[in-house]
Copies of this chain bind each other. A is one copy, B any other.
Amino acid sequence: MNIENTKAQMKKGVLEFCILSILSNGENYPSEIIEKMKTAKLIVVEGTLYPLLMRLKNDGLLSYRWEESTSGPPRKYYKLTPVGEQFLKELDITWKELVEAVNKTTNPSTPANQ
């Protein structure tokens, strides 16, 4: 049992939310997503991101188009589908509820209401 493992566990489910959020601001290809996550201090590696994008695409939340690159192989630019946008809204609520629930549990001295 160590902090690193717990951090990894805490990230589960949250990555999905972050990726959809990033794509809601416009098209991105995987390496860009990794960069943006890193900027926000959320380290994600290829082995995590690619399967996740594949899953989101297969579930109809994302679509992509190929685009040639002048500096390497072609890139897959992903974007949200209407279903993805709807799902993102629900995830946003879910995340806020989780944060509030955790705060209630960990700060019982400062109840939110009552």
Q: Which residues from chain A sit less than 8 Å from chain B, CB to CB? A: 1, 3, 6-14, 16-18, 21-22, 25, 36-37, 39-42, 55-56, 59, 61, 87, 90-92, 94-95, 97-102, 104-106, 108
- Residues of B near A16 (CB, < 8 A) are 6, 9
Instruction: Add 20 more A-B contacts to A1-B61, A14-B98 (CB < 8 A).
Output: A1-B56, A1-B59, A3-B91, A6-B13, A7-B94, A8-B13, A9-B12, A9-B13, A9-B16, A10-B17, A10-B94, A12-B12, A18-B106, A21-B105, A37-B105, A40-B104, A40-B105, A41-B100, A41-B101, A95-B102
- Residues of B near A94 (CB, < 8 A) are 3, 6-7, 10
Complex Cα distance, B102 from A41, in Å, reads 9
